[in-house]
Each structure stands twice: as C-alpha cells, then as structure tokens.
Amino acid sequence: MQLHAVIWEEEGIYIIREVFTGITTQGETIEEAIENLKEAVELYLEEFPELREELEKVKFVGDFNVEVAKALG
C-alpha cells in the first residue's frame, strides 16, 4: 500500500503527515521521520483494520501547491 505524506522542517525537526489518515509524526532526519510514520500508520491500521481496505482503494493522482492570500489585520 502506498500512501501520500507531506513533510516540512520546523526548528530543526522534520514533521511528516500522512494525508488520508492525518497521522503525524517527526524525526531528526527525513529518513527517521519517514520510518516513524511507517510505524505509526501500521499501528493505526492494526487498531482499525477496516480502514486498510479503504486506503487500498485510494488512487493517488498528484499534488500541487496552493498559495493563499495573506490575512489582513
């Protein structure tokens, strides 16, 4: 199963979030963050096995960046 995740850096730590489940974790390196996410998703899917079937049906098409105007205030 392949899932889609986004990763960003905050204060020297890499934060990673899986898009469909919302599972979020972190690591000191990108590789560590990815491994932590894999483990977290597996644990989550053990708890909710019916979700695995639903996630296997998801067809990832692509991603893109969306710029949002700065809030005035």
CA distance 14 to 6: 10
Q: Is 73 within a domain?
A: no
Q: Is 28 within a domain?
A: yes
pLDDT of residue 31: 97
pLDDT of residue 1: 79
CA distance 22 to 4: 10
Ordered per-residue pLDDT tens for the chain, 73 residues = 788 999 999 999 999 999 999 999 999 999 999 999 999 999 999 998 889 888 888 888 888 888 888 887 6
Q: Which two tokens stand for residue 55?
A: 């996630």
pLDDT of residue 19: 92
Q: Is the pTM of this model over 0.95?
A: no
Q: Whole domain around residue 17: which residue ranges? A: 5-57
Q: Is 47 within a domain?
A: yes
Q: How many domains does the chain have?
A: 1
